[in-house]
Amino acid sequence: MLFEFNYCKQFLIEDNNSNNKINKYIIRNINTDINSYLAGLFEGNGYIVIYRGNNQSKKRITKIRKVYIGITFNIKDLPLCEYLKSKIGYGLIRIEDKKNTCVLIFHTDKAIIVFINKINGYLRSPKIYKFNKVIDYLNYKYSLNIIKYKEDITYISKNS
């Protein structure tokens, strides 16, 4: 059975009111945001690539030339990858046939800013340190005021 992934969590709830004593399952949609889901995908199979230039400036932030953020999926999850790309509004999908994977890549600064604003505050792993370096770079380059959060230590049941 295929369910559309549409900004909701899908819970299976057993229906005991069945006359024929066969368990029926009802899908109940609870409206939530996909930001924590996207953060989980990033922490599981995501990466950040920071290309540094040979600028002679003393500040490490000004040495950054380009940033790429990617999330790797199995090729079977290509529809999910395409759906996330359409919902975020940015990104590029690269299919790697030899590895049987597809990668959702955010390579423009605008796409990276949108992605960072979606998952900022939901990260729980050490990837947050490199993530915060990207925030420093974007804040410096574009005079933004993106807040850097520490690791999310709330109970996983609160935002999963």
Q: Domains of the chain: which residue ranges? A: 35-159
pLDDT digits (tens, 9 = 90+) for 96-120: 999 999 999 999 999 999 999 999 9
- Which of 23-32, 87-96, 111-120, 150-159 shows the lowest mean pLDDT across its residues? 23-32
What is the chain's alpha carbon radius of gyration, rounded to the nearest angstrom? 19
Q: Which residue has the tokens 């370096």?
A: 133
Which class in CATH covers the domain with range 35-159? alpha beta
CB 15 within 8 A of CB 24: yes
Distance CA 104, CA 93 (A): 5
- pLDDT, residue 99, reads 95
Under the phi-then-psi rule, with left for phi > 0, alpha for psi from -120 to 50, and beta for the rest, what region is 159?
alpha
Q: Which helix H or strand E contains 127, and what residues bound it?
A: helix 127-142
Q: Which residue has the tokens 């609160």?
A: 158
Q: What is the pTM of this model?
A: 0.73
